[in-house]
Amino acid sequence: MTRWLLLRCLQAAVTLLLVAILLFCLMRLAPGDPLSRVSGEQQLTPGALAHLREQYGLDQPIARQLAIWLAGVVRGDLGASIEYGRPVTSLIAERLRASLLLGGTALLINFTLGLWLGAVQAVRRGTPVDRWLTAASLAGYATPSFWLGLVLAALVAVRWRLLPAAGMQNPLLASDAGPWVRGLDIADHLALPAATLVIVSIASTMRYQRRAMLEVLPLPYIVAARAKGLAESVVVRRHAWRNALFPVLSLAGLWLPILATGSVFVESVFAWPGLGSLAAGAVGTRDYPLLMGTALLVSSLIVLGGLLTDVAYGVLDPRIRWA
Amino acid sequence: MAPRIPRFAVGLGVCLWGVAAPLAAQTGDPDALVIVTGQQATMPVPTFMEGPQNLTANFDVADQLFLRLAELPPDLVTTDERRFVPVLAKSWSRRDSLTLVFDLDPRARWHDGQPVLARDVVFTFERARNAEIAPKLAGLLRHVVGVTAEGDRRVVFQFDRVYAEQFYDATYNVAPLPSHLVPRDATVANPPRGFVGAPVGDGPFRWVRSLPGQFVELAANPDFFLGKPKVDRLFFRTAADPEARVNLLLSGEADATDNIPAPPLANIERVSAAPGLRAVPLASPVLGYLLFNQRDRADRSKPHPILSDVNVRRAIALALDRRRMVESVFGRYAAVPYGPVSQLLWIRNGSPSAAGRDTVQARRLLAKAGWLGRNDEGILTRAGEPLVLTLGYPLTSEARKQMALQVQEQLRGVGIQIEVQRLDGPVWAQRRSRGDFDIDFSSATQDPTPSGLTQSWSCTGGTNVAGYCDPGVDSLLDWAIASPSGPAAGKVWQEVIRRIESDQPAVFLYAPAFVYAVSRRFGKAPLRPESSWLRVREWSR
């Protein structure tokens, strides 16, 4: 297993290097750069623009810019954002926390609720409960997240004033407020964006789980468990449900990058200071260092997600051999 | 039976929500002001707000932290130094027509307790006039040839020529920095992270903290020499999405915003209908116009095959019903400008109204330019070539999108085919700066000075991307700028505008107002068009 793991890590590192070089080149090939946008908006003179290009090192040949960036990456320095004027690593670290909080909460609720409801649907297949849950989850799935977010904000925050409309914390909170109050304040702000993400995404988890359960329930070992006289709840929970988790595991692997980048639309509608909106903004402004930093992070998470899923499969299913 | 979610988890969730939901209501601070904006200030420090940091959000915060020598008078006239409002400078005088002398207020202190001295002003202007450090400011201050200190509190400005806006140049563009805290050669690309992360100024508010992506917090400066602000805590809260900004206002989580974006007009209507809010329209520095390229896209040494003809340009202007377009997109919150003049510029006073639609005259002018035939689709032709032009704009602008479609439709009515190109912002900007366009849907944000018009509308203007050149306009611009007295300069400026309108290098489409939203709990809330929150120090309940 150690040899397999080392090989997979090496493969992952090479993949990441190639992705980084490719992204760097593609970004430079795309029309426009961070300062062409600025020159358009501010109507800078060519002389002023040339001075700025020099200050940011954008007048250097692309190969040299790439070499400088890669050398920085090796040292753990992703450069400074042109838009924010701060180190990219600090920006990502700050925003990653918010994204992980939102994505993690949504993922936790999605899987807890989704796996349970999917199992309920399978056990009560063809009943009104199954049909209603299918309809409700698919309606959520078909709803655009930004629209749902706007509706929830307009009703829950603006009309009923039950929860905050946007942001991650109340700026007016006293500076000496304790961690409990701060935690509740963040939970307060988290509720609507997390609910939006869960509503639009839970259908896939439910559908996966329902289908997996339906495949497992008629299998001989389930029949044998029932024949032994086990209670139906034990049969479903201990025997069927656990074995039906495998397909959903691959879904969890795919969720890892989404966990970090969140949903750009939901972050935008609720002014949630996450990584998704930061990355989307960097695309629009051609903030090369920030764009490369976030792209590298997402690539790493995709590679890591695949790796973790493979490992999890191996650990949970003894039939899978390390090769 | 399906697996169960533990009941205690459900109960815990409900309890948490029950405690958390009313929390926001308990944390209000009556002496705080929360302003919600679309961007967060990242480097609100004079001489560092260059290039990518030249953001309204940075200027908004910098206005609270740093004081200018003097502020513009209420009517924004930039040429009458007697009417400027003293701030950091207690008084000023002239030695001659090229020399201005400022005496600093001896009560002024930096937030670290050090006195504000003449050497701080000299230090800041040395940075601002250095193109290697502050390229944009250096261009704006090109006529300032020397700034020197005489003692601790007297600063002398020397200019290279006589012109009406010497005082404006010395006071508007730069607010002094503490020379003991800022490295001399630091630039926007390599800033002093400690200082820009927690700036020390001399203004009515001092820096408290910044939570990235969330808000910037400032606190009233109790020792401010012009009087402690009535607002104790000032927040600039960030919400990039306009809907989120409006929701924060309507839910009572923010007190003010500076520009409720229109279109759509629904947001302005929602704010106007809210009992706790006031919608306040105010002159904005924005000007939207269709810029005609007068040079060939492929070979800039040649004239544009269609748009170099003034008859075609005038025909396009006459074929458009600008008033109807502006009303349909901005409602009553914008005007059709006469010439390249936003609502912010004082020279707009006394201008005539823009010409209305006249399709008969437009067709006549097109015929005069040789566009006589028509193809199967009804498009005018000349020597078999159809009259087809591209119109490009950045995809982030909803106003320009809506107007571009109307332009396309209205020009089709006189036989001109417009191919609308909705472009990614950087792509649009790159094409624009290269002169790779027929008609560019431009939007300019103007400074209060009319001198800025030289950049776009003189033959050698640095941002004259369309290649417009009328030596007559250049002479008038030189004359207007060099006019030593305000009223005389005003008359020449009117002549400049008339001449540009006559040349029709562009169709000047809209000059919008910004609609501010302000909580009614603030009875006194002065707003300034040149800098939204400049007078927050005077806000009170």
Is A323's pLDDT higher than 60? no
**For the residues B477-493, what does the mean pLDDT come to?**
84
Q: Chain A residue with minimal CA distance to B274?
A: A158
B20 to A187: CB separation less than 8 angstroms, yes or no: yes
pLDDT of residue A313: 73
Confidence label for B339 from pLDDT (cuts 50, 70 and 90): very high
Closest CA to A30 of B430, B435, B51, B440: B430
Chain B residues with CB under 8 Å of A85 CB are 42-43, 48, 52-53, 188, 191, 196
C-alpha B114/C-alpha B137 separation (Å) is 26
When mean pLDDT is compared across A75-84, A190-199, B339-348, B503-512, the lowest value belongs to A75-84
DSSP letter at A78?
-
* Beta carbons of B178 and B112 less than 8 angstroms apart: yes
**What is the average pLDDT across B192-213?**
94
Chain A: give the shortest CA distance to residue B442, in Å. Answer: 9
Mean residue pLDDT of chain A comes to: 86
Within 8 A by CB and 6+ apart from A278, the residues are: A91, A92, A95, A290, A294, B213
Give the tens place of pLDDT for each residue, B373-388: 899 899 999 999 999 9
Q: How far apart are the first and last CA of chain A?
A: 8
Question: In angstroms, how far apart are the furthest CA atoms of chain A?
Answer: 86
> Are A193 and A146 in contact, with CB atoms under 8 Å apart?
no
Contacts of A36 in chain B (CB under 8 A): 426, 429-430, 433
Residues from chain A contacting residue B250 (CB–CB below 8 Å): 158, 165
Inter-residue contact B271 to B261 (CB < 8 Å): no
The stretches of chain A forming alpha helices (DSSP H) are: 2-29, 34-42, 46-56, 62-74, 88-123, 128-142, 145-152, 179-216, 220-227, 232-234, 242-243, 246-261, 264-269, 275-285, 288-316
What distances in angstroms separate CA A291 from CA A89, A304, B55, one per listed residue?
12, 20, 20
The DSSP secondary-structure symbol of B257 reads: E
Q: What's the Cα-to-Cα distance from A119 to each of A122, A202, A241, B1, rounded to whole Å?
A: 5, 13, 7, 9
**Among the partner residues B5, B213, B428, nearest to A112 by beta-carbon distance:** B5
Q: Are strands B215-220 and B233-238 parallel, antiparallel or unpaired?
A: antiparallel
CA distance B490 to chain A (A): 25
- CB pair distance less than 8 Å for A39 and B240: no
Whether B135 and A44 lie within 8 Å, measured CB to CB: yes
**pLDDT, mean over chain B:** 91
- Contact indicator for A276, A261 with CB cutoff of 8 Å: yes
Is a pLDDT exceeding 60 seen at residue B2?
no
Q: Which helix (H) or strand (E) holds B398?
A: helix B398-412
Per the CB < 8 Å rule, is A46 touching B139? no
Least Cα distance to B70 among B41, B114, B101 occurs for B101
Query: Quick check: B391 and B441 in contact, CB under 8 A?
Result: yes
**A25-50 pLDDT tens trace:** 888 888 878 887 676 666 667 777 88
Q: What is the pTM of this model?
A: 0.89
CB distance B240–A271 less than 8 Å? yes
Angle between helices B425-434 and A34-42 (to 10 degrees): 70
**pLDDT for residue B214:** 94
Rounded to an integer, the average pLDDT of B27-39 is: 86
In this model, does residue B423 exceed pLDDT 70? yes
Question: Given pLDDT bands bounded at 50, 70 and 90, which one contains residue A321?
Answer: low
Q: What is the pLDDT of residue A183?
A: 93
H helix or E strand, kind and range, residue B512 = strand B506-519
Task: List Cα–Cα distances, A300 to A89, A95, A256, A283, in angstroms.
Answer: 15, 17, 10, 19
Cβ within 8 Å, pair B212-A91: yes
Instruction: Give the up-direction half-sphere exposure of residue A290: CA atoms within 13 A in the CB hemisphere.
Output: 27
Q: What is the pLDDT of residue B25?
A: 45
Would you mind telling me the total number of residues written for chain B in this entry?
Answer: 541
Three-state secondary structure call for residue B295: strand
3-state secondary structure B230-256: CCCEEEEEECCCHHHHHHHHHCCCCCE
Specify burial of residue A304 (Cβ count, 10 A radius: 0-12, 13-18, 19+).
Answer: middle
Residue B81, Cβ density class (10 Å: 0-12 exposed, 13-18 middle, ≥19 buried): buried
C-alpha B28/C-alpha B422 separation (Å) is 44
The nearest CA of chain B is from the CA of A48 a distance in Å of 5
Please list the residues that pair with B441 across neighbouring strands. B290
User: Looking at beta carbons, which residues of chain A come within 8 Å of B211?
Assistant: 169, 171, 273
Tell me which of A315 and B295 has the higher pLDDT.
Answer: B295
Q: Is the peptide bond before A31 cis (omega within 30 degrees of 0)?
A: no
* Residue labelled with tokens 């560092």: B48
For chain B, how are helix, strand and coil distributed in percent, rounded to 5? 35, 25, 45
Q: Cβ–Cβ of A44/B463 closer than 8 Å? A: yes
